[in-house]
Amino acid sequence: MIDRIQKLIEEADSFTTNSLADLEAFRVKYLGKKGFLNGLFADFKSVPNDQKKAYGQAINTLKSTALEKVSTLKAELEANTTKTSAVGDLTRPGDPINIGGRHPISLVKNQIIDIFSRIGFNVSEGPEIEDDWHNFTALNLPEHHPARDMQDTFFIQTDPDILLRTHTSSVQVRYMENNAPPIRTISPGRVYRNEAISARSHCFFHQVEGLYIDKNVSFADLKQTLQYFTKELFGKSKIRLRPSYFPFTEPSAEVDVYWGLETETDYKMTKGTGWLEIMGCGMVDPNVLKNCGIDPKEYSGFAFGMGIDRIALLLHQINDIRLLSENDVRFLEQFKSSF
Ligand code: PHE
């Protein structure tokens, strides 16, 4: 009899499983109502008196072995289950992956960079916090020049020498200071102007400015470049140049692209004229070249600058510039499929 109990103790002690169901079956087999232990306790009466002590000790050992086995295995298995669920059930079907999209400003900026890189322009960048020299003075806008008011400026604290750049022409100055011609570069970046915020304008926006300096660069080169650009970006190559004024270019012009008058939106966007103003441009003023260490007798060049935000509104039919900086996912999600 005792031998049988001894065998059960060994069996219980060596029992192991990975499954909670098996463990439950083990518990029922040993400790359940009709389990080994209850049976053995019932047999106790019929054990001869001189064996009762040894018998009693044996079933007590069996009981504690079984109880301990159940509680340690249970703790182990439950700890394992939580570990696996943290990793995730690897056999479950995959969740749909939510892919992000590019911001419309980036989309348009990348398109513009791509178009100009095909005709040999590289990309240059500079600081958003600028000094007076790079944003104004070098660009033929000396102190007290009335044209400084064309771009309302944010100054940093009380130092009138440090400001938030009002255009990325400042990057072109830096580029000319550090690179000898021939120069073909475009400068995309964020710029700041102290303007009232509305559906049409914001106190910060994005520009791409371009600069081309070499021997014998002419106004005809500028016009051809712009025509190529508008054809590539808008699919429209009819442009016109209206005389204008910028302190850093001479002569200067505004570029309009003929958008057409086919739909009601065309009418609205072009105020009934069919023409849309898209950028400023001109031949780099000899004074600017001189300021940046380039000999204007040897070299000439053209420059142009446009606002990316307005073009993004145009290309994606967005009617409020503020949407571009509000980060509303309902707005941003609409550009997921674009590249
Ligand atoms: N810097 C001008 C602006 O911000 C744009 C421009 C660039 C005009 C180059 C002419 C030549 O408005």
Over range 309-319, report the average pLDDT.
91
**280 touches ligand 1 (CB under 6 Å):** yes
Residues 13 and 88: their CA atoms lie apart, in Å, by 33
The pLDDT value given to residue 146: 78
Residue 179 has pLDDT above 90, yes or no: yes
Residues 319 and 245: their CA atoms lie apart, in Å, by 29
Give me the sheet containing 155-156, strands edge to edge: 129-131, 159-164, 155-156
- Beta-carbon contacts of 302 under 8 Å, excluding residues fewer than 6 positions away, are 211, 212, 217, 219, 221, 222, 225, 249, 281, 282, 283, 284
Q: At 299, is the pLDDT very low, low, confident or very high (cuts 50, 70, 90)? A: very high
Residue-wise pLDDT tens digits, 44-56: 888 888 888 888 8
**172 touches ligand 1 (CB under 6 Å):** no
- In angstroms, what is the span from residue 280 Cα to ligand 1's centroid? 5
Q: Of all protein residues, whose CA lies closest to atom 9 belonging to ligand 1?
A: 304
Residue 84 has pLDDT above 60, yes or no: no
According to DSSP H, which parts of the chain are helical? Answer: 2-14, 20-31, 36-43, 49-87, 104-117, 132-135, 169-178, 219-234, 264-269, 286-291, 308-316, 329-332
Over range 229-246, report the average pLDDT.
94
The pLDDT value given to residue 149: 74
- In angstroms, what is the span from residue 219 Cα to ligand 1's centroid? 16
- In angstroms, what is the span from residue 270 Cα to ligand 1's centroid? 21
Residue-wise pLDDT tens digits, 194-217: 989 999 899 999 999 999 999 999
The atom of ligand 1 lying closest to the CA of 168 is: 1
- SS3 state at 123: strand
Name the residue with higher pLDDT: 154 or 299.
299
The pLDDT value given to residue 86: 60
Residue 325 has pLDDT above 90, yes or no: yes
Residue 175 has pLDDT above 70, yes or no: yes
The pLDDT value given to residue 51: 86
Task: Give the number of other Cβ atoms within 10 Å of residue 209's Cβ.
Answer: 24
**132 touches ligand 1 (CB under 6 Å):** no
Q: Which of 35, 42, 19, 39 is nearest to 67 (CA)?
A: 35
- In angstroms, what is the span from residue 168 Cα to ligand 1's centroid? 8
